[in-house]
A and B are shown apart, each in its own frame.
Chain A
Amino acid sequence: NAGVTQTPKFQVLKTGQSMTLQCAQDMNHEYMSWYRQDPGMGLRLIHYSVGAGITDQGEVPNGYNVSRSTTEDFPLRLLSAAPSQTSVYFCASSYSGGGRNEQFFGPGTRLTVL
């Protein structure tokens, strides 16, 4: 049981490039989400999904795209990278979105945009 996995661990992009951050979980969780954490700050929600085919925006969705074609995977796409997107990105999952369930987090992807 690998839990929540994220790839890559580190990435450097140039302004304007696009890329996809990968997130996968093997716990059959319906609920998945993406957060970003800027240096010295708390986590902010980008997008979340309550099941395959269903996604919704969080607090800071601009510049990011998501889709959920399977239960296991929830990739985050940066459409045209900007230096303001330099951050650490965390993916998380839980059995459902309700308060009864704890959320599991991946190890993060550190992204630098030059």
Chain B
Amino acid sequence: DAKTTQPNSMESNEEEPVHLPCNHSTISGTDYIHWYRQLPSQGPEYVIHGLTSNVNNRMASLAIAEDRKSSTLILHRATLRDAAVYYCILRALSGNTPLVFGKGTRLSVIA
């Protein structure tokens, strides 16, 4: 799987939008962009994934650059419960490639 680059940490105020960036300049045409998060003392939790088009679900939005070399996870209104480590991971469309976790971005939310 191609590598991703994320900032080590970010901070946000409660109830404000958060934009978490991810660079993946070596992404291949069939790699999906996955986002997971891990709350303190819990297992990772799926957030969202996409291939080319922007995606929305109840948790977040995923904005994918036109050249697909970067993406942004958007939390529309951060809450204290959103404080977690967020992982951006590429996963090939076909085959049985496992999820490979990097260091992720630690998001702190300030009340």
Chain B interface, DSSP helix/strand/loop, else mixed: loop
Task: Determine the distance from Cα of A33 to Cα of B96 in the docked complex, in whole angstroms.
Answer: 11
Chain B residues closer than 8 Å to A111, beta-carbon distance: none
B11: A residues at CB distance < 8 A: none
How far does the alpha carbon of A97 sit from the alpha carbon of B34 in the complex, in Å? 13
Contact count band on A? 20 to 34
B43 engages A98 (CB within 8 Å): no
Q: Digitize A58-85: 1 where CB-to-B-CB distance is under 8 Å, 0 elsewhere.
A: 1100000000000000000000000000
The count of chain B contact residues (Cβ–Cβ below 8 Å) is: 28
With both chains docked as a complex, state the minimum distance between the C-beta of A72 and any C-beta of chain B, in angstroms.
18
Report whether B44 and A43 are in contact in the complex, using a CB–CB cutoff of 8 Å.
yes
| Residues of A contacting B32 in the complex (Cβ-Cβ under 8 angstroms) | 99-100
